[in-house]
DNA sequence: ATTGTAATAGAACAGTGTTCTATAGGGGGT
DNA sequence: ACCCCCTATAGAACACTGTTCTATTACAAT
């Protein structure tokens, strides 16, 4: 759009690229996620992606890290009622995934060629998981979820949330009421593991 | 390996290509899944993949269809005890995914560029899901899973199985006993939805 | 032995991520 | 106001991708 050979201020490049990358991922999916397309959308030279990130995978790493940081925040909300909080975290998980599909795609849905998150990024992912463990542990103090370690129960909960949401994003949800079915699934799991 | 300019019998090409494609997917993942690599592994000319399939996506379609066909078979086992069968189907789901990672990757874990399963292939997928619905319906006759439609309960079960398995394949399972945790998850869900 | 099918090798095309080059815009110092 | 230096830019180049087209020829059926 903007005429070429006008240059973008240095401190605007990184956010512009990230924004453009997320837009393209949302609109075109992983197929359209190319260096040249991102650069054009951000109104920036392709080289900028190599100077400000570490190439295409650097952009993916930034999205991955940003996603797990947001997810950790949204899963970490507490009200004082642990039993309410754990269900709220389950709801927040789905909301995050459906409202940030680009992030969720990078984090869980697609193996981009050559992309392996760094150890720092993996640590962020573990941090998000830890929020689930914390919820479970607070419930266990109240006498719930006694049948297994908090880590294992949290793994079950994450699997349940991710499974429902990922099938939904892949458009293979046969439920006639997806919202209610998700709530039903969450409460069913809670009841089944309550003792 | 074999000297070139020796040609492969026509009726051996398709199975050789499929076998090579699955091997490459297992060993190198989606990154290494290239037409030239598959052809070389199958000891076949790259053009064969266009003559016997419809290019790279044709191979993916064949793997997808084969996978859902196998999955439907393995989910469809019945013994007469519906409550046992539904749990067995859950176990069979995980076994299929872990023992056929290449298939599972194509079916659920990765959006290959430009690949969209045909309506026939999508019908196979629906057939596999239907086996779950059948199990749930047989349980409902016995008084179980009364709280929702069989389709919705089956969706919950599929989500649970897929979620656990897909995180496992992505190497993000924090459980210290993955096998036991899966069983615990399945029985927890059954108990939670029993009424 | 001859014929016809089809598997082959190989070039060619547009597109990919990535690296390197030379150019020149524009902010910060004088 | 000027100048200088940092760096964003354009563009070529590389090896790779999926795909199409070509000409050759191995090999089975006749």
Per-residue pLDDT of chain B (195 residues; tens, 9 = 90+): 444 578 999 999 999 999 999 999 999 999 999 999 999 999 999 999 999 999 999 999 999 999 999 999 999 999 999 999 999 999 999 999 999 999 999 999 999 999 999 999 999 999 999 999 999 999 999 999 999 999 999 999 999 999 999 999 999 999 999 999 999 999 999 999 998
Q: Using CB atoms, pick whichever of A31, A113, A189 lies closest to residue B189.
A: A189
Under 8 Å between Cβ of A117 and A57? no
Determine the pLDDT at residue B4. 59
Mutation target to probe the A interface, by most A beta carbons within 10 A, among B34, B188, B191 is B188
Determine the pLDDT at residue A5. 73
DSSP A172: -
Per-residue pLDDT of chain A (195 residues; tens, 9 = 90+): 445 578 999 999 999 999 999 999 999 999 999 999 999 999 999 999 999 999 999 999 999 999 999 999 999 999 999 999 999 999 999 999 999 999 999 999 999 999 999 999 999 999 999 999 999 999 999 999 999 999 999 999 999 999 999 999 999 999 999 999 999 999 999 999 998
Domains annotated for chain A, with CATH where assigned, are 1-53 (1.10.10.60), 58-193 (1.10.357.10)
Please tell me whether any atom of strand D lies within 7 Å of the Cβ of A187: no
With vertex at residue B163, the alpha carbon angle to CA B161 and CA B166, rounded to the nearest 5 degrees, is 105
CB within 7 A of strand D (chain B, 36-95): 36-37, 46-47, 50, 55-57
Cβ-based contacts of B149 with chain A (< 8 Å) = 176
Under 8 Å between Cβ of B115 and A31? no
End-to-end CA distance of chain A: 61
Do the chains contact at B31 and A114, CB–CB below 8 Å?
yes
Please tell me whether any atom of strand D lies within 7 Å of the Cβ of B114: yes
Q: Work out the mean pLDDT of chain A and round it to a whole number.
A: 96
Q: Using CB atoms, pick whichever of A125, A149, A160 lies closest to residue B163.
A: A160
- CA distances to B14, B16, B187 from B44, rounded to whole Å, are 10, 8, 48
**CA gap A37, A173 in Å, rounded:** 32
Which nt has its C1' nearest the CA of A35? Answer: C17
Distance B81 CA to D17 C1' (A): 52
Do the chains contact at A185 and B109, CB–CB below 8 Å?
no
Please tell me whether any atom of strand D lies within 7 Å of the Cβ of A45: yes
Task: Encode B85-117: b = buried (16+ Cβ within 10 Å), e = exposed.
Answer: bbbbbbebbbebbeebbbbbbbbbbbbbeebeb
Contacts of A176 (CB under 8 A, 6+ apart): B149, B151, B152
Distance A65 CA to C1 C1' (A): 72
Q: Using CB atoms, pick whichever of B111, B152, B177 lies closest to residue A175.
A: B152
Write the ipTM: 0.94
Q: Taking every pair of C-alpha atoms in chain B, what is the biggest distance, in angstroms? A: 67
Determine the length of chain B: 195
């Amino acid at each position: 759009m903007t005429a070429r050979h006008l240059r973008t201020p240095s401190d605007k490049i990184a956010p512009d690229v990230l924004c453009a990358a997320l837009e393209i991922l949302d609109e075109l999916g992983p197929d359209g996620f190319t260096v040249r397309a991102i650069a054009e959308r951000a109104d920036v030279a392709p080289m900028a992606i190599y100077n400000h990130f570490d190439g295409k995978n650097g952009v993916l790493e930034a999205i991955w890290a940003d996603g797990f940081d947001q997810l950790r925040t949204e899963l970490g909300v507490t009200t004082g009622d642990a039993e309410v909080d754990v269900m709220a975290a389950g709801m927040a998980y789905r909301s995050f995934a459906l409202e940030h599909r680009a992030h969720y795609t990078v984090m869980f849905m697609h193996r981009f060629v050559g992309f392996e998150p760094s150890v720092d990024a993996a640590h962020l992912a573990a941090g998000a998981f830890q929020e689930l463990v914390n919820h479970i542990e607070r419930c266990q103090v109240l006498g719930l979820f006694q049948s297994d370690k908090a880590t294992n129960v949290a793994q079950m909960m994450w699997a349940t949330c991710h499974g429902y949401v990922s099938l939904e994003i892949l458009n293979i949800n046969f439920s006639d009421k997806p919202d209610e079915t998700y709530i039903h699934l969450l409460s069913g799991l809670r009841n089944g593991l309550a003792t």
